[in-house]
A and B are shown apart, each in its own frame.
Chain A
Amino acid sequence: MIDIHNLTIRKAHNAMKRKEFSALDLVKQYHAVIAEKNPSIHALLEVFEDGEAQALRADTEFAGGTATLLTGIPIVTKDNILIEGRKASAASKILENFVAPYDSTAAAKLRKEGVIFLGRTNMDEFAMGGSTENSAYGITRNPHDISKVPGGSSGGSAAALVMGGTLVALGSDTGGSVRQPASFCGCVGLKPTYGAISRHGLMAMGSSLDQIGPITKTVEDAEILFTALHGTDAMDSTSFYPKEIKAVPQKFRVGVPRAMMNMEGLDSEVKKNFDESIEKLSKLGCEIVDIELPNIDNALAVYYIVMPAEVSSNLARFDGVKYGYHAEGKDLMEDYLHTRREGFGPEVRRRILLGTYVLSSGYYDAYYGKANALRNLIRKDFADALNQVDVIVTPTTPTPAFAIGEKSHDPLSMYLADIFTVPANIAGNPAISVPSGFGGEGGRLPLGIQFFGRSYEENALFAIAKKFLGEDSDGENS
């Protein structure tokens, strides 16, 4: 048996290179874990049938000496990332039988490295939600406590990783959808700088906010995936990554937005764990500095205007005509009305209506126009703060994982849980969530801490996150 619990990309690579086990052995073992655990956790919507065939190809690469660091590494991908010839439904009925006609740039890059695509993971429909309860194909459960949500919208990716069903995973993050499930499930989640990873072939939700990001057990694994995936791409005009990146600081100045720590709804255990984390950073030699973010109180309201506005525009393409689900009416208008009613779930319909409202003439200036002006102020607040400090630190979420069903009937309360993650998408900066301890009933629910950095300085986030976790260069926690 391979010790998959402690396996990292580098360890798996070295073991396959030394022939301690093969990619086929690895895939067989993950398949066994999935068969055992997926029926109760429901992290994966589909396990690809050709996993073993992909593993055999990887083993050939190792035998021929052409293997790269990612060759033979099993990965699961969120159901909104296109892989040519495979289903991609965004956990929506409207795309139930949609087969990707081409590879996303992310999938193409991974394919070139010879990774093994194990399967596609459950999510909130079209990435709208923070609990993976909004899937048309059933809920996903938190492997730490199956009465709790895994977070969302990339809940299936985080749960698949933590239940031991894959070595690494990919998600997408529009307002925290990689970081929040990573925090709830006790793993690492990176939201890269806006545009750092190409979004070609990622189903669009909020185009000024969306980013693909890795969900992994160690910071080094996230770094390896980010290194493989990032870069300017001709297929995505919003993608950009500079050639020269600033060096990682020797001594980190860490900013704490103190005012945010007095917000209503911040769980006392989360607060205590955060204070302990600050203490730990200080002991590790970081300089802790209080910072001000004068417009941060409006970040969540700005997000819940800009995002639905973009959602209502992006999801206009699902009309039952070009592809996907089609409901038959007496005329074209009825086809549209019924296709979109039957094809979309309630949260998607709610956000489309909300977005249509804030974009309609008469309300546009008061909501969407004002939100964009405030967005620029928030961006500037972060830029100013990051002139004084190298990174900003907050809890990832105001509470540990909540119970299944607890917030599903109150959309606003679900939205308020995004308070710490949304600002990185509003501002475009990179942010990483790493495990910081446990809390909740019986102390068995993971808690997370989030580092927020300057644009294109993911390297600084990896460095401080490793320092915080005591992770050495082999991805081992000392």
Chain B
Amino acid sequence: MIERSEIEKLGILSRIALSEEEKDAFVKEIDSILTYVGRVKDAPLSGSQSASMVSDVFREDGEPHETGLFTERIVTGMPSREGNYLKVKKILPS
């Protein structure tokens, strides 16, 4: 059974504030989902597991787009700007 304190910790880790009611609802819902998906823990891993499709897909660096092509469009979408800079709150405490 997932604990209420674990839900609170997940909220902090994932940067989502949770109301008290919501914590109660998530304990119940997430517990029922975890009980279902928890079946993988007991599933046997017989035979070969290597059906990997991994291949190298990186290209050489090069062919950049023209500098500044997207700047205005992207800066316009920022919640807070100063000139062409993204404006954020102070990160380090003074």
Give chain A's interface residues, CB within 8 Å of chain B. 98-99, 101-102, 234, 237-238, 240, 295, 298, 301-302, 304-305, 312, 316, 319-326, 331-333, 335-338, 340-341, 344, 346, 349-350, 352-354, 356-358, 360, 366-367, 370-371, 373-374, 376-377, 379-380, 383, 411-412, 415, 428
> Which 6 pairs of residues, A with B, have the shortest CB-CB distance?
A326-B79, A101-B73, A337-B17, A341-B17, A336-B15, A323-B77
Whether B57 pairs with A102 at a CB distance below 8 angstroms is no
What is the number of contacts between chain A and chain B, taking CB atoms within 8 Å? 141
Q: Which of B16, B78, B90, B91 contacts A322 (CB 8 A)?
A: B78
How close is A34's CB to chain B, nearest CB, in angstroms? 28
Asked, given contacts A337-B15, A373-B49, A383-B51, whether A237 binds B33 with beta carbons under 8 Å apart, the answer is no
Give chain B's interface residues, CB within 8 Å of chain A. 2, 6-7, 10-11, 13-18, 22, 26, 29-30, 32-34, 36-41, 43, 45-53, 57-59, 70, 73-74, 76-80, 86, 88-91
Asked, given contacts A340-B16, A350-B30, whether A305 binds B48 with beta carbons under 8 Å apart, the answer is no
Bound-state CA distance A295–B43 (Å) is 9
Whether A371 pairs with B16 at a CB distance below 8 angstroms is no
Whether A234 pairs with B59 at a CB distance below 8 angstroms is yes
Whether A324 pairs with B79 at a CB distance below 8 angstroms is yes
Bound-state CA distance A323–B48 (Å) is 45
Whether B49 pairs with A377 at a CB distance below 8 angstroms is yes
Whether A353 pairs with B45 at a CB distance below 8 angstroms is no
* Chain A hits for B80, CB < 8 A: 326
How close is B11's CB to chain A, nearest CB, in angstroms? 7
Bound-state CA distance A323–B86 (Å) is 10
Bound-state CA distance A340–B15 (Å) is 7
Asked, given contacts A98-B77, A338-B17, A353-B10, whether A238 binds B57 with beta carbons under 8 Å apart, the answer is yes
* Chain A hits for B33, CB < 8 A: 304, 354, 411-412, 415
Bound-state CA distance A338–B78 (Å) is 17
* Chain B hits for A238, CB < 8 A: 57
Q: Which of A298, A319, A321, A341 contacts B18 (CB 8 A)?
A: A341
Whether B36 pairs with A298 at a CB distance below 8 angstroms is no
How close is B18's CB to chain A, nearest CB, in angstroms? 7
Whether B37 pairs with A367 at a CB distance below 8 angstroms is yes
Whether B39 pairs with A301 at a CB distance below 8 angstroms is yes
Whether B47 pairs with A360 at a CB distance below 8 angstroms is no
Q: Most chain-A Cβ atoms within 10 A of its Cβ — which of B7, B50, B79?
A: B79
* Chain A hits for B15, CB < 8 A: 316, 319, 333, 336-337, 340
